[in-house]
Amino acid sequence: MHEQPCLFIFVTASGMCRGIGELINGSIAAGWRTYTVATPNVAEIVAPDQLFAQPGVHWISGYEQPPLDVFPFGTMLVAPCTFNTFNKLAHGIADNLATSMLADALGAGCPMFVAPSMNPGLWNHPQTRESHQRLTTWGCSIIEPQISDTQVIMAPIATILSRIEQYLTSR
């Protein structure tokens, strides 16, 4: 049904979400059918309709939208991934559209990439370590963030796109 590779980009409410347009554009330029889904708190950072109103992207904002009638399929990417969503994924919490879709995709065996972005205290929290280990054990690919004394930010867009490309071309 879906000949071209499909990438679902799940955007969470990290300040890094403001620049997610570059990731979306890179996905579209690579020829991937691109779907985006935002967690509810993204609206606290940026207006989702501005973020996802780009030619070539398919924004899913409700449970009744296509392609949810045939989901799960494709490759999942959570970028940026906040502490909250990172730990929800590891605990199977599906309390909004994005986490419900991710839980479904994980259970169905869809490939999943996670690009964390959170403050250093949250990155060093014991639960983050446990969730990191659990998600890795479950087959999720964690795209390690850039870490300094004051920041833990999502990996560069080029790195994220390269990891997805490597996966898609190796299949």
Averaged pLDDT of the chain: 94
Kindly state the helix (H) or strand (E) to which residue 135 belongs, with its residue range: helix 126-137
Name the token pair of 144.
Answer: 């390690």
Kindly state the helix (H) or strand (E) to which residue 127 belongs, with its residue range: helix 126-137
The three-state secondary structure class of 99 is: helix
How does residue 1 score in pLDDT terms, banded at 50, 70 and 90? very low
Cα separation of 26 and 24, whole Å? 5
Does residue 141 contact residue 159 with C-beta atoms inside 8 Å? no
Kindly state the helix (H) or strand (E) to which residue 89 belongs, with its residue range: helix 83-91
Q: What is the pLDDT of residues 26-79, one digit of tens each?
A: 999 999 999 999 999 999 998 888 777 788 899 999 999 999 999 999 999 999
Total-model pTM: 0.95
Kindly state the helix (H) or strand (E) to which residue 10 belongs, with its residue range: strand 6-11
Least Cα distance to 70 among 96, 104, 43, 31 occurs for 104
Cα separation of 110 and 100, whole Å? 14
Q: Tell me the backbone φ, ψ of residue 69, rounded to 5 degrees.
A: -70, -20
Q: What is the pLDDT of residues 87-111, one digit of tens each?
A: 999 999 999 999 999 999 999 999 9
Cα separation of 66 and 60, whole Å? 8
